[in-house]
Homo-oligomer: A and B are copies of this chain.
């Protein structure tokens, strides 16, 4: 059970965008340089967040990505599911209805108890991530983080 490597990328990029001035945007190239990530593949992941309605993208010399909503209205669950999808890790293929022990259909009207408990666990995971907003992540950073982030993201003199 693995989340894509890009999950870390988009969580950090979203946290970075949450530290920008209003109306400011960061390009995929700037974010890729900031975290030393492969720009084309990162751009593809960032587009997934646009598609999910979490980021907006603008073109032009000062264009790029920004949050589509206030940081307090974007949860970690939304970000993770934007790149990994919403399907649950446990797949019930109804083996209870197969083979010599196959249960008749009329005994399978309810979800299998094992599938139900696995779904409960996935819901616990989702609830945990749905309970954390980007604003809360920002609040855990040092007070100097946003100005540092903006300086290094946009500054040209840093090597």
Contact = CB atoms under 8 A, between A and B. Distances in A.
A90 B83 CA distance: 13
Q: Give the oligomeric copy count.
A: 2
A123 B125 CA distance: 8
A43 interface: no
Given A101-B152, A122-B125, A158-B100, A114 B1 contact: no
A140 B120 CA distance: 15
- How many A residues touch the partner, as a band? 35 or more
Given A98-B36, A140-B113, A2 B1 contact: yes
Interface of A: 1-3, 5, 7-9, 11-12, 15-16, 32-37, 76, 80, 84, 89-93, 95-96, 98-102, 107, 113-114, 117-118, 120-129, 132, 137, 140-142, 149, 152-153, 158
